[in-house]
Amino acid sequence: MNKKSIIFTCAFLLVIGILIIILSGSFGRKPFAKLSYGDVMSAELFIVPPDATVLLTNKDDIVKLTGILNEIIIYREDDSGRDYDGQLVQVTIALKNGETHTIGAYGSFLFLNGKCYRTKNEPSQKLNAFGNGILNMCPQNETVTSFSPDGKYRAEAYGTNTAITAGGLYPYEGIRIISTENDDVIWEMESGGYTVSFTWSPDSRYAGIYYTGRIWGESIIVDIVNKETISLPELDEIAARYNESEKPQESRPDPYFEIRGWEDPQTVIVDFSWTKENGEEFSGQYTYNIKTKSFREIGKAS
C-alpha cells in the first residue's frame, strides 16, 4: 500500500468515526429499552420542589413507571442542564441483577447516574407527570418551622416519608436546624416523627425537640454552639424514682416525654406519661438541668 492509499484510508476512517459520533448523538439511545417490571426490586421517587420522597409499592405504578423508562432517550452529554430552573422528578430503581440507577427528568434534560444529557421532551414530561400524579395521591406533611428568639436560627421538620404509616399519618422525612444568615445546616436528623414541635432556650443556644412515634414520644436537646445532641434521662431512670404501683408496664409502656418549656437557659421543663401495669396512665412533670444533670420532680403535668 503506497503513501497516498494510507493517507486516504486514515482520512476515510476518521470521517466515518466522526459520522458515527455525530449520528449516535443525533439518534440517541434508550438505556432502559429492555427493562421490564420483573427486573425491578424497588423504586423510589424524589420530587423537588416540594422535597418529597415516595416509595412505590403498587405493582401497577411500577409497571407504568417501567413503560415510561422504556421510552426515555438520551443524546449527548450537556452540563448546561445543571443550571436549569424547574421541578426535578427523580426515580431511583434497584434491579434484581444488583444494579441501581438514578434517573431525573428536568425539562429537556435528563440526569442518568449523575451525568446530564439532552433528551426528548415527551418522555421527560411523562416521567414528570407520573411523579406528580403519585405525589398528589399521597398526603403531605406541612412543614413545621420555629425561629430562635434571637432570629439567627430556624428549626424545621420537613418532607413526608410515605414508606411508613400509622393510622393514616406519615412521619416527617427529617428534622434540621439552619442558620438564617446563610442557610447552612447546623444540625440534622433523618426520619422525623409523626408530629414534631420545637422549644427554644431563652438565650437561643439550645433547641428542645419533641417528636412522636406510633406509641411513644421523645425529646432531645440540640446544642447550637457545639452542634451536638443532648439526651434526656431515659424511661428506666425516671421510673426508678417511683413506687412499684406507679411504674410502667413492660409489654406496652407507651412512654411520652415532652419538653414544655425552659425554667432558665439551662433547665428544661418536661411533661411525661406512661401506662402502668393496671392499664391506667401515670403522668408527671420534672425539670432537668443539662449542665448539672440534676432532676427535680415538680408535680402533675399541666
Beta-carbon contacts of residue 18 (< 8 Å; ≥ 6 apart) = none
pLDDT digits (tens, 9 = 90+) for 39-58: 999 999 998 888 788 889 88
Q: Which of 167-171, 205-209, 294-298 has the lowest mean pLDDT?
A: 167-171
The secondary structure of the chain in percent helix, strand, coil, rounded to multiples of 5, reads: 25, 40, 35
The pLDDT value given to residue 302: 40
Q: What single letter denotes the amino acid at residue 209? A: I
The pLDDT value given to residue 17: 56
pLDDT digits (tens, 9 = 90+) for 115-133: 999 998 888 899 999 999 9
Given pLDDT bands bounded at 50, 70 and 90, which one contains residue 14? low
Other Cβ atoms closer than 10 A to 208: 26
Beta-carbon contacts of residue 64 (< 8 Å; ≥ 6 apart) = 130
What's the average model confidence in pLDDT over 134-161? 91
Does residue 26 surpass a pLDDT of 60? no
pTM of model > 0.75: no
3-state secondary structure of 129: helix
Q: What mean pLDDT, rounded, does the chain reach?
A: 88
As a dihedral over the C-alpha atoms of residue 295, residue 296, residue 301, residue 302, rounded to 10 degrees, the angle is: -120
Determine contact, residues 104/89, Cβ cutoff 8 Å.
Answer: yes
DSSP H or E run through 7? helix 3-27
Vertex 102 angle, CA 166 and 79, to 5°:
135
- Say what percent of the chain tops pLDDT 90: 68
